[in-house]
Amino acid sequence: MDNKQIASEILPLIGGNDNIGHLTHCITRLRITPNSLESIDKSSLSEIPGVLGINENSGQLQIILGNRVSDVFDELKALVYGAGSSIGDENEKSPVEAEKKGIFATILDAIAGIFSPVIPAIVGAGLLKGIIVMLTSSGLVHSDSETIKVLTVIGDAAFYFLPVILGVSSALKFKCNAYIGAALGGILIHPQLQALMQSSGDYMYLFGIPLKSTLYMSSVLPIILTVWFMSYVEKFLATFIPSSLKGVFQPVLTLIIVAPVMLAVLGPVGSVIGNVVASTFIHIYGIAGILAGAILGGLYAPIVVTGMHYGFLPVMFESISQTGFDYIMAIGVAANSAQAGATFMVFLMTKNKAFKSIAGGAGINAIIGITEPAIFGVTLRLKKPLIAACIGGALGGAVMGLFQIGATGIGTGPLAGLAFFFGPKFVYFIVGCLVSFVSAAVLTRIIGFEDVKSSVVETSK
């Protein structure tokens, strides 16, 4: 079934156009905020060929589609908003979305909405940095060559200009002007501002207001907090500026109000919070890496099921900013390897030919780094293999923690993320992945599972 057919079958089962309050997607999931959850036929949705699973989180319907999610999203968006539409009506909130959420769910939703769009740029940059390490460490290219210097610039750009990139994505999430968000991010990394801060000592002054001298390259929280504040400033200004003058006065007043608050309060506060969180994690990881790796590796799959893994992203970004490496991704890759091992063992053990095909495809996807098909389609469905995968993830995570394996960027794996881990500890990364894969597979064979009946799979074709 092609992507257009999948989108055509999804639309009526989620209640049609009128039931879509908000439509977006992440790397593997189509994310729909419906006007009414009761209008959704989850059972029929899960039976559509190409749909790998269904999940509901904080009033949001998540349809797991794997690698084809962006293509199905484009087709569904065309059906809902018309061909050539760039976005849906993002200013309208559905009744479900408008309901008061808990603070934790609200924060996770904001993090997911802000970081999901920027991940491709970070993945590409991180992989390139890993390739640079491989080229220089193997002696294929000299580290002082112009080629390496240019490639380093290309690989570093996404991290250096992260405040600008996050300024755009934060503005889109908080529904304010994305270009002013980018401009505010640009202020934080403007060379002249950085030079002024370095020459002024601990503080410089704007209208007599003390501004803490802080470097914001690769920072995360300062621009997010700033754009969140800006969204309220824009709304406030819109209440009294005449429509005919908004195009001129609203942008300049927004910058005049928001930029000083950013430089005096939100930037330093966000920088301190980010540094404390990342430093605390790195410190704990340095002391108890094995325990931290085992706990996170064992719980990673259930965390993915709930969607809470997006909560790790700010820590991962801050860790790369401070040290050049992220230590959470390696543990996540170990958990992915465990899912692959458990799923491949299910593939070998199941007597159901249709389910064997599902498990085989899910196992291959998990080896690449896309685990939702394995989790939702196989291990969570059968329950016992999920337990085996969690144990395998804990064992592999402990290995990653023992050797403190770091990634040069943020992405997924095992196979899709190999370049992130090129370097002196690459062999230990491979060992951690193998420990997870083999232990999860063996435990699945020992624990066993109740096989899927043929009629169940055949009705879902």
Query: Over the stretch 193-206, which tens digit does the pLDDT of each residue have?
Result: 888 877 777 778 77
pLDDT of residue 164: 94
Q: What is the pTM of this model?
A: 0.77
pLDDT of residue 344: 96
Residues tagged active-site: 26
The one-digit pLDDT tens for each residue of the chain (461 residues) are: 788 888 888 888 888 888 887 787 776 778 888 888 788 888 888 778 878 778 777 677 888 887 778 888 888 888 887 755 544 444 444 444 445 456 767 777 788 788 878 888 888 888 888 888 888 877 788 878 888 899 889 988 888 899 999 999 999 989 899 999 999 999 999 988 888 877 777 778 777 777 777 778 878 889 999 999 999 999 999 888 888 888 888 999 999 999 999 998 998 898 888 888 888 888 888 888 899 999 999 999 988 887 777 778 888 888 887 788 899 999 999 999 999 999 999 999 999 888 898 899 889 989 998 888 889 889 988 999 999 999 999 999 999 999 999 998 888 889 988 988 988 899 999 999 999 999 999 999 999 999 887 655 544 44
Query: Over the stretch 435-447, which tens digit does the pLDDT of each residue have?
Result: 999 999 999 999 9
pLDDT of residue 454: 65
Domain regions of the chain by residue span: 3-99, 161-274, 288-458
CATH 3.30.1360.60 given to domain 3-99: yes
β-pair partners for 64: 29, 53
pLDDT of residue 30: 84
Query: Over the stretch 270-307, which tens digit does the pLDDT of each residue have?
Result: 888 888 888 888 888 888 889 999 999 999 998 888 77
Reduce the DSSP state of residue 25 to 3 states and report it.
Answer: strand
